[in-house]
Chains A and B, each alone.
Chain A
Amino acid sequence: MPHSRLRRQHPGPVWRLFSSAGFRFAALFAAVFLLAALAFGSVLWWGTAGALERQTDAAIRADVHALTDRWRDGGAPSVAEAIEERLAVDAEGQTLYLLQDADGARQAGNLAELPRRDGNSAWHSVTLSHEDGPPGEGRLMVVELPDGGRLGVGREVGEKQQLRDLLTEGLAWATGAALVCAIIGAWLMRRALERRLAAASGTAAQIAGGDLSPRVPLSPHDDEFDRLGASMNTMLDRIAQLMDGVRGVSDAIAHDLRHPIARARNGLEEALLDEANDPAALRSAIERGITDLDNVSRVFQAVLRIAEVEHGARRAAFAPLDLALLLADAAELYGASAEAHGQVLETEWPESLPLVGDRDLLLQVLANLLDNAVKFSPPGAVIRVSAAQEEDAVLVRVADQGPGLSVPDRARVGERFFRADAARTTPGSGLGLSLVRAVVQMHGGALWFADAGGPPDHPGLAVLLRLPVSAGTEKPAA
């Protein structure tokens, strides 16, 4: 086995978990789910707590602007007056003010002091002590006045803070719930994936174990997994068919070649062991051996040719031809044999029967059929060969006056090495009709059998071939 095909083995269960596609899909799913939850939380946060803060800050800033404008118009007393006014109308006590002069003395407002200056930031958070409740929180903006005094404007934000805390808490819970959902969802997804794939991988494992019969079970959903399973099944059917074919051929070869090989071997061995043999007897034994070996190689050749035809390797030799000429040649070749058997060959076909096919193979087909007809018909019989043009095909019929073929046998004719009982005493390999069937299928045609219309005990056999005019138009039967 090439090195690259060796799979690295990782022993740890953690690695196996990470290397599982189901886990990776699930992790991806969880990550996307969490990201969505996070985005949702952020938008919610920005839209509520954030908006409240921005609103407060904007109100404070506007107040500061109004008061500094006032200071420019009327000086500190005017501002102090305005502050007192505002405090007077603020029933809820939410507003915070403090105006100091340059010495830090309180001019107006409800705050005790201003926070110390710290850097550039004008914004401060302050803690407010209330006499009748828990301390509150305030947000304060402090500006320097041109005369050295300071103005602080603020709002109590305790309630808003509470709202924000509530929201934060809510979001934290929601995030936790999302995380749990993501993990459960991922786990479910992984399990579903594994469950759907289990059927296919189980089947594959069984097949790898040597049993070619199981198929991937399909659900009624007809989804991606079912389609994958269906194509796996098609592939398996094809493989099984090919395997059967190979097994059939090797069985048949083993069976049919064993006899002639054994015969040749026995004959030669006998000739060798028999000391009384004269040279002439030895010679004839050797000749018989050679004849047996020639038979072996003929059968072998025929089997290989059938395999070649069944693989469609000879389609390369397809060319336009006139079947009428082929029929004439075949009739002429075998007419002499029929005559030698005291039989008559009657022929009938139109002047021209153009079709696309393999000339040598089609002649082989006609030769095999005529050879059978001559072989199985008694002396004096009439063998009829006829052909007719159909719409897009040529129908060829070869009828003899032999014993015919029983209906059950008809189905088996064409299996390699099958020979009907009646044929066992005649010479032949049982490969002739196999080749005929293979060639006809290769041409996209059909082969079937019928009685030739003789008496019931001797009906004769009619072999019918239907060959499409252009072999490409019909798909060859599998």
Chain B
Amino acid sequence: MRILLVEDDAEVGRFVRKGLQEAGHTVEHAQNGRDGLFMAASEGFDLLVLDRMLPGGVDGVRLVETLRTQGNHTPVLFLSALAGVDERVKGLKAGGDDYLVKPFAFAELLARVEALGRRPAVDAPATRLRVADLELDLLSRTVTRGGRKIDIQPREFRLLEHLMRHAGQVVTRTMLLEKVWDYHFDPQTNVIDVHVSRLRQKLDKGFDKPLIHTVRNAGYMIRGEA
């Protein structure tokens, strides 16, 4: 992916850039909002990673608002030290697609970057998701593996659907909490782990090949090949 990073803190910028490059992305780095806006408007990027507070008169929110009024719909991920809920809402209202509060784990950032970057522009009207021999039917709300129907609860269905829509990508626990349960809060303990392991038991029971993999220090990933 071609990613534009707009971040004024040199150390954070270097760290994010290096990490994204190691993950196989091309990264352009702008140090202030003015340059960032110029680059974002004149070149094509797959994703923008913006700091909320930027020097140079154009902050992250202004940058996105300007881009959106120009009809530019490149996905935007905000990085911010502003953790207040209002700040988050402001960022998303301005046209941001995701919001990550500093300090963050790089794995979390990478997972969110990849989820945003590969998000289809318009949700494809797929009725069936497939990973290896696992099949999820969105219309009949059923899950089958190797032709055998698996009994699954509604929430587990949504959990599995989210994992399968991002098959081959890391999905973090907070992402699951936000997307599957639709809440923004700190669950104290790893409640998500309990749900994933329950789902995993149901899916893998009677099969040798596990489908849901735990990615150390990051989250989960569903993929077919070992």
Contact = CB atoms under 8 A, between A and B. Distances in A.
Contact of A333 (B89, B105, B187): B187
Contacts of B43: none
Contacts of A339: 194
Contact of A360 (B105, B185, B189, B217): B185
Interface in B173-190: 181, 183-189
A342 B181 CA distance: 24
B191 A297 contact: no
Contacts of B86: 313-314, 316-317
Given A287-B217, A294-B105, A297-B103, A336 B194 contact: yes
Contact of B184 (A287, A308, A329, A360): A360
B226 interface: no
B181 A333 contact: yes
Contact of B187 (A294, A304, A371, A427): A371
A81 interface: no
Nearest to A341: B194
Interface residues of B, number: 22
A262 B101 CA distance: 24
Contacts of A252: none
A363 B198 CA distance: 22
Contacts of B195: 333, 336
Given A316-B86, A317-B85, A368-B188, A337 B194 contact: yes
Given A329-B183, A363-B183, A314 B194 contact: no
B191 A336 contact: yes
Given A287-B217, A313-B84, A336-B195, A364 B155 contact: no
B157 to A, nearest CB: 13
A113 interface: no
A314 B185 CA distance: 14
Contacts of B185: 360-361, 363-364, 367
A367 B194 contact: no
Interface in B146-165: 155
Interface string A303-320: 011001000011011000
A298 interface: yes
A199 interface: no
Given A304-B83, A316-B86, A371 B188 contact: yes
A340 interface: yes
A301 interface: yes
A432 interface: yes
Nearest to A358: B85
A25 interface: no
The interface residues of chain A, by DSSP majority, are classed as helix
A334 interface: yes
A302 B183 contact: no
A367 B188 contact: yes
B96 to A, nearest CB: 18
Interface string A353-382: 000000111011001100100110000000
A314 B85 contact: yes
A332 interface: yes
B202 to A, nearest CB: 12
Of residues A290, A329, A333, which shows the largest number of chain B Cβ atoms within 10 Å of its Cβ? A333
A340 B83 contact: no
B194 A360 contact: no
A334 B187 CA distance: 9
Q: Which of B105, B155, B181, B185 has the most chain A CB atoms inside 10 A of its CB? A: B185
Contacts of B103: 293, 297
A288 to B, nearest CB: 12
B217 A308 contact: no
A365 to B, nearest CB: 9
Interface in B59-105: 83-86, 89, 101, 103, 105
Q: Which of B85, B86, B184, B188 has the most CB of A within 10 A?
A: B188
Contacts of B198: 336
B189 A337 contact: yes
A122 B96 CA distance: 105
Nearest to B190: A337
A354 B195 CA distance: 28
Contact of B189 (A294, A308, A371): A371
Contacts of B189: 337, 371, 374-375, 427
A185 B55 CA distance: 66
A329 B103 CA distance: 28
A359 B198 CA distance: 27
Contacts of A361: 185
B118 to A, nearest CB: 27
Contacts of B194: 336-337, 339-340
Contacts of A333: 181, 187, 191, 195
Contacts of A428: 188
Nearest to A296: B103
B103 to A, nearest CB: 5
Given A305-B83, A317-B86, A337-B191, 19 more contacts: A290-B105, A293-B103, A301-B101, A302-B186, A314-B85, A314-B86, A316-B86, A333-B181, A336-B191, A336-B195, A337-B189, A360-B185, A361-B185, A363-B185, A367-B191, A371-B187, A371-B189, A371-B191, A428-B188
Instruction: Give the 10 A-B residue pairs with the shortest CB-CB distance, closest first.
Output: A364-B185, A336-B194, A371-B188, A360-B184, A340-B194, A363-B183, A337-B194, A333-B191, A336-B195, A360-B185
6 contacts: A297-B103, A313-B84, A333-B187, A333-B191, A336-B195, A367-B185
